[in-house]
Amino acid sequence: MISREIYTHGSKEFNYAYYPHSSSRYGLFFDAHWHDEWEFIYVRDGKLQFYVDGRLFTVQKDEALLIDRYAIHAVSNREIRSGSAYHCFVFGLKFLCPDSESYIYQRCFSRFQSDSISLTQHITGEKPYEREILRQMQYLEKYSADPRANALPIQIALLSIFDVLLRENAFTERPHSLTVQNERIKTALLYMNQEYQSPLQISSLAASLNISTDYFIRLFKAMMGLTPKQYLQNLRIQKAISIMYSDPELPISEIAQQTGFEDVNYFSRCFKKIIGLSPTQYQKNLPASRSPAAHG
């Protein structure tokens, strides 16, 4: 497992974060990333699609998605409807069980140090144990309005979910080949996130991973639902939006240059294709209540 992650959540003493996603709060999309915490997603309205380690999950209203630590995950825009909303609960092992030498840790949580155990799964409510998990998700939604004031009820709800998973042995084995593939894609994602302002050659990136360009493109698309070129364009557009929020008066040409687009007209075409508005239109109508930097 490579040690670096793109995002971390919460703080050292309070490793828990809550993100209520909607069209007016944080937005409906987050780009591909991973972190050292588990993530539970509860869909409150609509229907959304999520990529997790190359698997596409369609999650509907009142359903949930459990996501492993270190799993690469993103929202897919293949199917999304206006009015959709979902909640992300992101938490680390220390939030659940701070004492790594305790009996509970050794009995219940030490197994999660292995890369071979996966809890990633779609919770539909079809099975009795899934209905219990969804009930606890509703508690999480309620208490997370003020996480620090409700730290104990939040911890209890999360522990209750893990208790259900452990009693039902609701885990799967993660193939070693998937771990290897993930590390390659993570290396590529880290590089793209660090060097998106520079001209990037997909062939050079593939060579740095000791695989052919064709295989890299196939692997990347299988894991991410996008080609490397599409992902890089999306990443650059998200960076451009972040710049617009930080400096609403910055000229579009300067934003294009800062995000790796050598041609402002090409930047405008890519922006409109992905966002649905031209950069100028978007800049004039920045939604004040939305924070594009927030992730699940």
Average pLDDT estimate for 127-155: 97
Instruction: Evaluate whether 72 touches 34 at the Cβ level (below 8 Å).
Output: yes
pLDDT in tens, 273-294: 888 889 999 888 876 545 555 5
pLDDT tens by residue, 114-137:
777 899 999 999 999 999 999 999
- Assess whether pLDDT exceeds 80 at residue 18: yes
For the ranges 89-93, 140-144, 197-201, 221-225, the lowest mean pLDDT is seen at 221-225
Architecture of domain 176-284 in this structure: Orthogonal Bundle (1.10)
Across 30-39, average pLDDT: 86
Cα 125 to Cα 133: distance, rounded to the nearest angstrom: 8
Q: What is the mean pLDDT of the chain?
A: 88
When pLDDT is averaged across residues 61-80 and rounded to a whole number, the result is: 84
Residue 182 has pLDDT above 70, yes or no: yes
Q: What is the pLDDT of residues 195-227, one digit of tens each?
A: 999 999 999 999 999 999 999 999 998 888 889
* Residue 4 pLDDT exceeds 50: no
Query: Is pLDDT of 158 > 90?
Result: yes
Query: Rounded mean pLDDT of 8-36?
Result: 80
How many Cα atoms sit within 13 Å of 149 on the Cβ side?
Answer: 5
Domain range list for the chain: 16-173, 176-284
**Side-chain half-sphere CA neighbours of 265 within 13 A:** 0
Over residues 136-158, mean pLDDT: 97
Strand ordering across the sheet containing 55-60: 55-60, 47-52, 73-76
**5: pLDDT strictly greater than 70:** no
Q: What pLDDT does residue 2 have? A: 37
Spell out the alpha helix ranges (H) of the chain. 93-96, 103-104, 128-143, 151-168, 176-195, 202-208, 213-224, 228-246, 252-258, 264-275, 279-284
| Under 8 Å between Cβ of 223 and 54 | yes
- Domain 16-173 adopts which CATH fold? Jelly Rolls (2.60.120)
Better pLDDT: 165 or 4: 165
Distance, CA of 27 to CA of 29 (rounded, Å): 6
Q: How far apart, in whole angstroms, are the C-alpha atoms of residue 129 and residue 131?
A: 5
**pLDDT at res. 289:** 43
